[in-house]
Amino acid sequence: MTDPQPATPLRVTISCADLDASLACYTDELGFRLDMIMPADAPRMAELSGYGLSLGLRRVEHAAHPDDAEGGAETIPAERDAVASTDWIVGRAGMQYRDLIPGRWDGRVIASHIRIPEGGPVPDYVHYHRVGFQMIFCRRGWVRVVYEDQGPPFVMQAGDCVLQPPTIRHRVLEASPGLEVVEVGCPAEHETWRDHALTLPTSERRPQRLFGGQRFVRAVATEAHWQAASASHCLYRDTGIAEATDGVADVRVLRANSEQACSAPAWLPEGGARFVFVLRGRLRIHGVDGALRELSADGACLLVGTDASKFEAVDADTEWLDVCLSPQALQS
The length of the chain in residues reads: 332
Q: Tell me which residue of 258, 277, 281 sits closest to 324, measured CA to CA.
A: 277
Residue 89 pLDDT grade (very low, low, confident, very high; cuts 50, 70, 90): confident
Q: What is the pLDDT of residue 279?
A: 96
**pLDDT for the residue 268:** 72
**How does strand 10-16 pair with strand 53-59?**
parallel
CA 65 to chain centre: 23
Q: How high is the pLDDT of residue 313?
A: 86
Q: Are 253 and 279 in contact (CB under 8 A)?
A: yes
Q: If you classify domain 222-330 with CATH, what class do you get?
A: mainly beta
Question: Cα dihedral sign for 168, 299, 108, 214?
Answer: negative
User: Residue 10 burial (CB < 10 Å; 0-12/13-18/19+)?
Assistant: exposed
Domain with CATH 3.10.180.10 in the chain: 10-59
Q: Annotate 32-59 with b (16+ C-beta within 10 A) or e (fewer).
A: bebbbbbbbbbbebbbbbbeebbbebeb
Handedness of CA 194, 62, 298, 75 (dihedral sign): positive
> Quick one: pLDDT band at residue 290, thresholds 50, 70, 90?
confident
Whether 12 has a pLDDT exceeding 90, the answer reads yes
Q: Is the pLDDT of residue 277 over 70?
A: yes
**Residue 66's pLDDT band (cuts 50, 70, 90):** very low
For 63-67, 92-96, 145-149, 207-211, which range has the lowest pLDDT when averaged over its residues? Answer: 63-67
What is the chain's Cα-based Rg? 20
Contact (Cβ atoms closer than 8 angstroms) between residue 230 and residue 221: no
Compute CA distances 301 → 32, 281, 319, 323, whole Å: 41, 15, 14, 11
Task: Say whether 105 sits in a helix, a strand or coil.
Answer: helix
The answer to which of 101-105, 157-161, 214-218 has the lowest mean pLDDT is 101-105
Average pLDDT, integer, range 107-130: 93
The fold for domain 10-59 equals 2,3-Dihydroxybiphenyl 1,2-Dioxygenase; domain 1 (3.10.180)
- Which residue spans of the chain are classified as CATH 2.60.120.10? 89-219, 222-330
> What is the mean pLDDT of the segment spanning 311-315?
86
Q: Which of 326, 300, 134, 320 is nearest to 237 (CA)?
A: 320
Chain-centre distance for alpha carbon 118: 20
Q: Which of 289, 300, 147, 273 is nearest to 217 (CA)?
A: 147
In SS3 terms, 317-331 reads as CCEEEEEEECHHHHC
The CATH superfamily of 89-219 is Jelly Rolls (2.60.120.10)
The partner residues of 112 in beta bridges, in order of sequence, read 99, 183
**Long-range own/partner contacts, residues 59-68 (CB < 8 A, 24 or more apart):** 59/15, 59/16, 59/17, 59/18, 59/19, 60/15, 60/16, 60/17, 67/102
- Mean pLDDT over residues 242-265, rounded? 84
315 pLDDT more than 60: yes
pLDDT digit string (tens) for 25-56? 999 999 999 999 998 888 899 999 999 999 99
Higher-confidence residue of 284 and 83: namely 284
Q: Are strands 214-215 and 154-157 parallel, antiparallel or unpaired?
A: unpaired
Q: Which residue did the predictor score with more confidence, 105 or 305?
A: 105
Cα→Cα distances 226→120, 229, 257, 283, Å: 33, 10, 10, 19
Mean pLDDT score of the chain, rounded to an integer?
86
pLDDT at 74 over 50: no
Q: Residue 165 pLDDT > 80, yes or no? A: yes
Cα 275 to Cα 325: distance, rounded to the nearest angstrom: 8
pLDDT band at 7 (very low <50, low <70, confident <90, very high): low
